[in-house]
A and B are shown apart, each in its own frame.
Chain A
Amino acid sequence: MSKMVPMPSHSILPQRDVDKTPILEARLLGIDFGGLTAVDNFTLTIGRTEIAGLIGPNGAGKTTVFNLLTKVYQPTRGTILLDTKDTSGMNTIQVNRAGIARTFQNIRLFKNLSVLDNVLIGIHNSMDYPLVTSVLRLPQYWKQEQEAKEKALKLLSIFQMQDLAKYQAGALPYGAQRRLEIVRALATNPKLLLLDEPAAGMNPSETAELMENIRQIRDTFQIAIMLIEHDMNLVMGICEGIAVLNYGRIIAKGTPEEIQENPAVIEAYLGKRKEG
Chain B
Amino acid sequence: MNQEKQIPMPVRYLINIALLAICLVAGNLLISGGFISSYYQKILLQVGIYIIAAVSLNVATGYLGQLPLGHAGFMAVGGYTAGIFLKACPLTGIPAFILSLVLAGIVAGIFGIIIGIPALRLKGDYLAIITLGFGEIIRVILLNIDNVLGFKLTGGAGGLMGIPKYTSFNSVFLCVVITCFVIHTLIKSRHGRAILSIRENEIAAESCGINTTYYKTMAFVVSAFFAGVSGALFASYLGILVPGDFGFMKSIEILVMVVLGGMGSMIGSVIAATVLTIVPFLLQSISQTVADYRMVIYSVLLIVVMIFKPSGLMGTYDFSLTSLIQRLINLPSVHEGVAKKGDGRNE
B345 touches A127 (CB 8 A): no
In chain A, positions 174-211 with a C-beta closer than 8 Å to chain B are 184-185, 187-188
Docked Cα-Cα span, A221 to B193, in Å, equals 26
Docked Cα-Cα span, A115 to B339, in Å, equals 11
A96 adjacent to chain B (CB < 8 Å): yes
B207 touches A70 (CB 8 A): yes
A101 touches B207 (CB 8 A): yes
A159 adjacent to chain B (CB < 8 Å): no
Docked Cα-Cα span, A235 to B9, in Å, equals 48
- Contact among B1, B186, B200, B204 for A112, CB-based, below 8 A: B200
Q: Which residue of A lies closest to B311 (CB)?
A: A112
- Least Cβ–Cβ distance between B181 and chain A, in angstroms: 8
In chain B, positions 40-67 with a C-beta closer than 8 Å to chain A are none
B342 touches A120 (CB 8 A): no
Chain A residues with Cβ under 8 A from B340's Cβ? Answer: 167-168, 171
B203 adjacent to chain A (CB < 8 Å): yes
A117 touches B1 (CB 8 A): no
B211 adjacent to chain A (CB < 8 Å): yes
In chain A, positions 70-89 with a C-beta closer than 8 Å to chain B are 70, 72
B341 touches A117 (CB 8 A): no
Chain B: residues with Cβ within 8 Å of the partner, total of 38
Chain B residues with Cβ under 8 A from A116's Cβ? Answer: 342
Q: Which residue of A lies closest to B204 (CB)?
A: A108
Known: A134-B186, A172-B339. A104 touches B206 (CB 8 A): no
Chain A residues with Cβ under 8 A from B9's Cβ? Answer: 142
Docked Cα-Cα span, A112 to B339, in Å, equals 12
Chain B residues with Cβ under 8 A from A108's Cβ? Answer: 201, 203-204, 207
Docked Cα-Cα span, A104 to B204, in Å, equals 8
B200 touches A113 (CB 8 A): yes
B190 adjacent to chain A (CB < 8 Å): yes
A113 touches B343 (CB 8 A): yes
B208 touches A113 (CB 8 A): no
B209 adjacent to chain A (CB < 8 Å): yes
Most A C-beta atoms less than 10 A away, residue of B191, B194, B209: B209
- Least Cβ–Cβ distance between B302 and chain A, in angstroms: 22
Contact bitstring A111-144, B, C-beta under 8 A = 1, else 0 = 1111111001111110101010011110001101
Known: A93-B212, A124-B190, A134-B186. A117 touches B207 (CB 8 A): no
B92 adjacent to chain A (CB < 8 Å): no
B208 touches A188 (CB 8 A): yes
A124 touches B194 (CB 8 A): yes
Q: Which residue of A lies closest to B9 (CB)?
A: A142
B192 adjacent to chain A (CB < 8 Å): yes
A212 adjacent to chain B (CB < 8 Å): no
Chain B residues with Cβ under 8 A from A121's Cβ? Answer: 193-194, 196-197, 205, 208, 210
Known: A134-B191, A135-B186, A188-B208. A171 touches B197 (CB 8 A): no
B38 adjacent to chain A (CB < 8 Å): no
Chain B residues with Cβ under 8 A from A104's Cβ? Answer: 203-204, 207
In chain B, positions 1-31 with a C-beta closer than 8 Å to chain A are 1, 9
B210 touches A124 (CB 8 A): yes
- Least Cβ–Cβ distance between B78 and chain A, in angstroms: 19
Docked Cα-Cα span, A113 to B99, in Å, equals 38
Chain B residues with Cβ under 8 A from A91's Cβ? Answer: 206
Known: A109-B204, A110-B204, A135-B186. A117 touches B211 (CB 8 A): no
A124 touches B208 (CB 8 A): yes
Contact bitstring B311-347, A, C-beta under 8 A = 1, else 0 = 0000010000000000000000000011111110110
Shortest beta-carbon contacts, A-B, top 5? A114-B342, A134-B189, A110-B200, A171-B339, A96-B209
Interface residues of B (CB under 8 A from A): 1, 9, 182, 185-186, 188-194, 196-197, 200-201, 203-212, 218, 264, 316, 337-343, 345-346
Beyond the given pairs A121-B193, A134-B189, A142-B9, 19 more chain A to chain B contacts, judged by CB atoms under 8 angstroms and listed by A's residue number, are A70-B207, A72-B207, A93-B210, A101-B208, A102-B207, A104-B203, A113-B196, A115-B342, A121-B194, A121-B196, A124-B190, A125-B209, A129-B189, A135-B189, A136-B185, A163-B1, A165-B1, A166-B1, A171-B338
Can you offer 15 A-B residue contacts whose CB atoms are under 8 A?
Answer: A72-B203, A72-B207, A96-B206, A109-B201, A111-B201, A117-B343, A124-B190, A129-B190, A134-B191, A134-B192, A135-B186, A136-B185, A166-B346, A171-B339, A188-B209
